[in-house]
Amino acid sequence: MLTVIWRLILLLIPYKVNHVVTVLQSSCNLAELDFTVSSTVEVANDTGCVRLKSHGRFQYMEGESQLKRTVVMVLCLVVLASCAVVMAQPTDVPKDHWAYAAIESLSAKGLVLGYPDGKFVGNRAITRYEMATIISRVLDNVDKSIDAAKSGMASAPAAPAPAPAASSTPSVSPEDLATISKLVDEFKTELAVIGADVAGFKERMDKQDEKIDELQNNVDVIKSGIEDPEGSIQTTISDVKKLNKVKVSGYLQARYTYDFNPANITGNTTTVLNNAATASAKAQQGFGVRRGRLKVDARPTDNTGISYQIDFGGGQTSIATGTPANIYQVVTKDANIQYYLKGDPGIGGTFVLGQFLTPFGYQLVRSSSVRETPEFSEVITRLFNDSSTLDIEYDRGLKYSSPTEQALTYELGVMNGAGPNQYDNNQARNTVGKIRLAVADNIDLGVSGYWGQEPDGAKVLQSINRYGADLEIYFGNWNLKGEYVTAQDVDYRAAGGTATKWGMWGQVTRNFGAMDQFVAMYDSYNNGYNYSGSDAGPGTDTWNVGWIHYMDSATKLKFFYKMPDNNRFNTAIFEVVSIF
């Protein structure tokens, strides 16, 4: 374009001027200059031509005519204007050019700065000089990113540490460096025009490759240390996995108990209650440990579990004799193996073999750490947990439990019927079944059955079938629950035979905030016959009234007052239960 302009000027100006132009052209060689932003047009001193520099100043030499100076000035202004026009209309990069995708990829990794919201082109094509500017910014950011990564690697801790917050410094991969190098080669002319050091780019890329290699070496060293099976990190991971497979839990139930004499028994040292001379029927007071429980659950594999639980307790003192009414003892409760069909009891069934809790009703399967009242209701104690007659709270056998994350759940079991830590005393196997249905989000219903045999006082096997139904309702801060149980039980007197027993309990709970509860439970039990012994009298009705305060998520205080009829002791209990 510059050559065309010069030829037009030569045709339009007079000879005198043409001579000057010829001198100017031959002296300055303007037609062959490659005008760029950094170019300088400079006329030799011996010709007296103008010096044209990029900052636009003109310098005149002495000894030339005014006409020559004027013509030269006009010609130079025309040339400069022509260069400006050319520079003002640079070539656009076609929208389908591969450079757009390359820059988009680098922008997604945070390597393109200076464009709002990460958008550098929008929907328009950009000029090659704009593209060169973007590439120059990318190069600057790459230097900072790799230097920051190297600095962070040098100060990394030797031992594992919690994962840090996400860094604002983007990462650079060898693939990114290859893309940048290709962009530099494509736009090297434009990069030179905007003053970028094209010659130094290759050296910079080589240095970045060296930094990447150094970082990779550091990563390999750290990875080797992490993956070393005998190293400290893998040893720690192995120990943690083992701990996750073994869970230790339990609780301690410590209390102070005070029994009040009924009105028809005189003196604090009365020892007989309705002709029952057993220690448990005597008045008690003092400190004691009602129960301590330690349970270990292990998961050797995803489908296999092992549970072992021991209880210890007793040690309350009889007012009458001053001797312990309940001797301290350690008893194995749970001792079983579980097999989870789908690895999770919530979504698959579970088989349990060994010694476990009898799956019957509502209250029997809830321990003191969960139950509101300090003790079982009278009917559950007499029919399932009476050490003087029949204790089948825990038993040995095999049971199946349905998935727990369903509205309808059930459990079925075959058991010895002899209780915990006992060999079977007859050839009959007892069976038990339980079904529970979530009728609504706040209503649960359950039915249970237990079928078996037990020898009576005359050593004749008798039926000990039990049937129960239970209900639980939640509404606001209130909770209502209850259970009814009827049983055909053995008459353990020498005469033998059976008797039909039944009982029920109902409980209402009112929450006061998140830390306090009021509890009231009515309990009624009828033993079906009247004789002196552990089931003295035709039965009993009992009120339990109490307050529970949660000190924290693990510890709660209980204040209860138990009021049975049938001339038994009223009992005040202050209790602390702490779980772990």
238 located within any domain: no
126 located within any domain: yes
DSSP character at residue 280? G
Residues 366 and 479 in one domain: yes
Task: With residue 223 as reference, give the H or E element that holds it.
Answer: helix 198-227
Residues 366 and 330 in one domain: yes
Show the tokens assigned to 3.
């050559």
Nearest-angstrom CA–CA distance, 546 and 568: 19
Residues 265 and 210 in one domain: no
DSSP 17-80: HHHHHHHHHHHH-GGG----TT--B---TTTTPPEE-TT--EEPPTT--HHHHHHHHHHHHHHH
234 located within any domain: no
Nearest-angstrom CA–CA distance, 327 and 211: 75
**Cβ proximity of 570 and 561 under 8 Å:** yes
Q: How far is CA 480 from the centre of its chain?
A: 33
Q: How far is CA 474 from the centre of its chain?
A: 29
Number of domains making up the chain = 3
Show the tokens assigned to 379.
């009917």
Residues 335 and 467 in one domain: yes
Instruction: Give the pLDDT of residue 228.
Output: 74
Domain boundary among 56, 88, 120: 88
Nearest-angstrom CA–CA distance, 446 and 322: 44
How would you class 341 by CB atoms within 10 Å of its CB: exposed for 0-12, middle for 13-18, buried for 19 or more? Answer: middle
Nearest-angstrom CA–CA distance, 384 and 448: 13
Domain boundary among 41, 63, 88: 88
Instruction: Give the pLDDT of residue 52.
Output: 39
The answer for residues whose C-beta is within 8 angstroms of residue 231's C-beta and 6 or more apart is: 225
Residues 72 and 117 in one domain: no
Instruction: Give the pLDDT of residue 324.
Output: 45
239 located within any domain: no
DSSP character at residue 473? E
Residues 147 and 189 in one domain: yes
Amino acid at 545: V
312 located within any domain: yes
Residue-wise over 350-373: b if at least 16 C-beta within 10 A, else e? bebebbbbbbbbbbbbebbbebbb
59 located within any domain: yes
CA angle 274, 275, 278 (to 5 degrees): 105
In which domain, by residue range, is 130 found? 98-158+169-227
243 located within any domain: no
Domain of 479: which CATH number?
2.40.160.10
Residues 502 and 359 in one domain: yes
Nearest-angstrom CA–CA distance, 240 and 102: 45
**Cβ proximity of 53 and 38 under 8 Å:** no
**Cβ proximity of 411 and 402 under 8 Å:** yes
| Selection from 14, 9, 1 nearest residue 76 by Cα | 9
235 located within any domain: no
Mapping DSSP to helix (H, G, I), strand (E, B) and coil, where does residue 6 land? helix
pLDDT tens per residue across span 510-538? 999 999 999 999 999 987 754 444 444 55
The answer for residues whose C-beta is within 8 angstroms of residue 298's C-beta and 6 or more apart is: 245, 246, 247, 305, 306, 307
**Ranges of the chain with pLDDT below 70:** 1-90, 113-124, 143, 146-171, 196-209, 211, 230-232, 237-243, 261-284, 314-328, 387-389, 421-426, 457, 491-497, 529-539, 566-568
| Selection from 438, 448, 330, 335 nearest residue 384 by Cα | 448
DSSP 353-372: EEEEE---SSSTT--TTT-S
Length of the chain (residues): 580
Distance between start and end Cα atoms, the chain? 90
The answer for residues whose C-beta is within 8 angstroms of residue 569's C-beta and 6 or more apart is: 259, 260, 261, 262, 273, 283
Nearest-angstrom CA–CA distance, 481 and 486: 18
Residues 70 and 174 in one domain: no
**Cβ proximity of 261 and 283 under 8 Å:** yes
Amino acid at 32: E
**Cβ proximity of 333 and 385 under 8 Å:** no
DSSP β-ladder status, 317-318 and 555-564: unpaired
Residues 332 and 356 in one domain: yes
Report phi then psi at 449, rounded to 5: -145, 145
Residues 416 and 538 in one domain: yes
| Selection from 100, 99, 106 nearest residue 170 by Cα | 106
Nearest-angstrom CA–CA distance, 11 and 18: 8
Residues 432 and 357 in one domain: yes
Domain boundary among 35, 62, 88: 88
Residues 413 and 392 in one domain: yes
